[in-house]
Amino acid sequence: MINKILQFLIAILNKWENREALKTLGAARSSQWPKVRTEHLKKFPSCALCGEIKKNIEVHHVIQFSKDPSKELDPQNLLTLCESGNNGVVCHRFFGHHGNYRVSNPDVVSDVQKWHDKIANR
């Protein structure tokens, strides 16, 4: 019983230590990513969907760079989405990934624009 608990705790610790790799589905980030991310957020500091400017802002890859590494640093492939938007909506997770970070929404740009307009015109 104790061995199973220890194995479970070790597995959790390993996931925590490798959390960046989990977010990227194991793909290695370019050394240029921090600079590109910072520049993108300077140009687009608010969530493209809800308009919030929060600390929990993310730069979403329209085409996951784990599927196409050439898109990681492409400014046309980046979209600012928040992790804690208006009324508890988590724009990045729900619109960028349909609630599951292993999934990518191929229609994220049009979905975000549509819902942004709905929020703005309510």
Please provide the DSSP assignment of 24-73 as one string.
Answer: TTTPPPPTTHHHHHHHHHHH--S-TTT----SSEEEEESS-TTT-GGGTT
Over residues 22-31, mean pLDDT: 65
Does 59 fall in a domain?
yes
Spatial distance between the Cα atoms of 57 and 60, rounded to a whole number of angstroms: 9
Structural domain tally of the chain? 1
Burial 64-90 (b: 16+ CB within 10 A, else e): bbbeeeebbbeeebbbbbbebbeeebb
Structural domain includes residue 42: yes
> If you average pLDDT over every residue of the chain, what do you get?
82
Assigned domain for 34 exists: yes
Tell me whether residue 11 is in a domain: no
Judged against a pLDDT cut of 80, whether residue 43 lies above it is answered with yes
Q: 110: which DSSP letter?
A: H
Does some domain include residue 65? yes
Domain membership of residue 45 (yes or no) is yes
Query: Is residue 38 classed as helix, strand or coil in its secondary structure?
Result: helix
**3-state DSSP call for residue 81?**
strand
The pLDDT score that the predictor gives to residue 59 is: 94
3 in a structural domain: no
Quote the tokens at residue 59: 């730069």
Residue 22 in domain: no
Q: What phi and psi, each to the nearest 5 degrees, are found at residue 92?
A: -60, -50
Q: What's the confidence (pLDDT) of residue 113?
A: 95
Give the residue numbers spanning the domain of 111.
28-120
